[in-house]
């Protein structure tokens, strides 16, 4: 199963693609990773248009059967929530056009799925992502690591028939 | 000058197209108005995909030279801000693909431009929109009225060479 994971953001959007073995303990292969960067100096439609184009390209190249995003929680940051929403809007347009279903998981669910308990730290999750993908080093930058963690979390849920559609 | 105005929303997105006379007092003609509706029961990518498709269709049909949206302010409603952001993301993708610049105006600017003072009520603005467009009745529903007000506000600013890019 190929899963495209997205860590949504307007200045930095993490995008990772993994191929997960269908059975046994969770084992996966890293197919692709990138971070889409945009600047507040660019017109909004160029920022969001580029995010859309890059996600579309990854969908066309890897044909994932699912796209998974991290659920966002914002506290007193409406402006940020709004602009991260723009980025996710572009992701959703690309998924819709490609006919790929979208799933979402919260931070607690990522920690639960990958580290086995909901209060794991960032490092513990990164270590598990590295182990599952068989990488020599933890994936960097953090936006890419988060995107891969989300992709693997979906794989975990999907294998249990418990994917969470957005 | 043809302007596409958008009142962004995830359950109701107002979309209005006006053709504005280039000179003299602000006079305009209503070319098109619709409200795109989506339900929280639909998958997110279908909601956002439909908004994208409808905006794209309006851009292709009317070839506006600008797209104008209402700037959003949210208070303690991060969840809402995020989802309205999805809708605007879809709008921005469509604008980018069509090569149409996007502008944004706040509620005070709309009132200032259309009613002449920043503390005008909804009814006063609606009355001005109706007058400028030469309509027998005020446009309904409110999301369409808001979209038309935004389109006319941009026309006002653009004629002064003072458009506000998003
Ligand atoms: Mg409205």
SS3 annotation, chain B = CEEEEEECCCCEEEEEEEEECCCCCCCEEEEEEEEEECCCCCCHHHHHHHHHHHHHHHHHHHCCCEEEEECCCCCCCHHHHHHHHHHHHHHHHHHHHHCCCEEEECHHHHHHHHHCCCCCCHHHHHHHHHHHHCCCCCCCCHHHHHHHHHHHHHHHHHHCCCCCEC
Q: Would you state the pLDDT for residue A135? A: 93
Inter-residue contact B114 to B125 (CB < 8 Å): yes
Domains defined for chain A, CATH in brackets: 2-159 (3.30.420.10)
Q: pLDDT-derived band of residue B151, with 50, 70 and 90 as boundaries?
A: very high
Interface test with B, best of A74, A96, A99 (most B CBs within 10 A): A96
Q: pLDDT-derived band of residue B89, with 50, 70 and 90 as boundaries?
A: very high
Q: Would you state the pLDDT for residue A6? A: 93
Q: pLDDT-derived band of residue B75, with 50, 70 and 90 as boundaries?
A: low
pLDDT < 70: residue spans in chain A: 74-77
Q: Would you state the pLDDT for residue A116? A: 86
ipTM here:
0.81
Q: What percentage of chain A reaches a pLDDT higher than 90? A: 63
Q: Would you state the pLDDT for residue A76? A: 62
Q: Would you state the pLDDT for residue B74? A: 67
Which of B44, B47, B96 is nearest residue A48 as measured by Cβ atoms?
B96
Give the phi and the psi of residue A141 in degrees, each rounded to 5: -75, -175
pLDDT tens digit string along B105-145? 998 999 999 988 888 888 899 999 999 999 999 899 999 99
Note whether B56 contacts A: Cβ–Cβ < 8 A.
no
Q: Find chain B residues with C-beta within 8 A of A100's C-beta.
A: 45
Q: Would you state the pLDDT for residue B24? A: 79
Q: Find chain A residues with C-beta within 8 A of B46's C-beta.
A: 96
Q: Is A143 annotated as a binding residue?
A: yes
Q: In 10 A of CB A75, how many CB atoms? A: 9
Note whether B102 contacts A: Cβ–Cβ < 8 A.
yes
Q: pLDDT-derived band of residue B4, with 50, 70 and 90 as boundaries?
A: very high
Q: Would you state the pLDDT for residue B152? A: 93
d(CA B144, CA B5): 9
Note whether B57 contacts A: Cβ–Cβ < 8 A.
no
pLDDT tens digit string along B28-60? 999 999 999 999 999 888 999 999 999 999 999
Average pLDDT for chain A: 90
């Amino acid at each position: 199963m190929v899963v495209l994971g997205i860590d949504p953001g307007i200045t930095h959007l993490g995008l990772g693609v993994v191929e997960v073995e269908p059975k046994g303990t969770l084992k996966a292969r890293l197919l692709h990773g990138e971070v889409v960067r945009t600047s507040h100096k660019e017109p909004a439609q160029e920022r969001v248009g580029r995010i859309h184009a890059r996600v579309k390209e990854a969908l066309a190249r890897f044909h994932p059967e699912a796209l998974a995003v991290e659920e966002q929680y914002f506290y007193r940051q409406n402006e940020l929530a709004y602009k991260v929403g723009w980025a996710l809007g572009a992701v959703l347009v690309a998924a819709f056009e490609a006919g790929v279903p979208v799933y979402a998981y919260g931070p607690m669910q990522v920690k639960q799925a990958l580290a086995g308990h909901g209060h794991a730290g960032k490092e513990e999750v990164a270590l598990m992502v590295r182990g599952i993908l068989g990488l020599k080093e933890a994936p960097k930058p953090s936006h890419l690591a988060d995107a891969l963690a989300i992709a693997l979390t979906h794989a975990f849920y999907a294998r249990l028939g418990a994917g969470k559609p957005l």
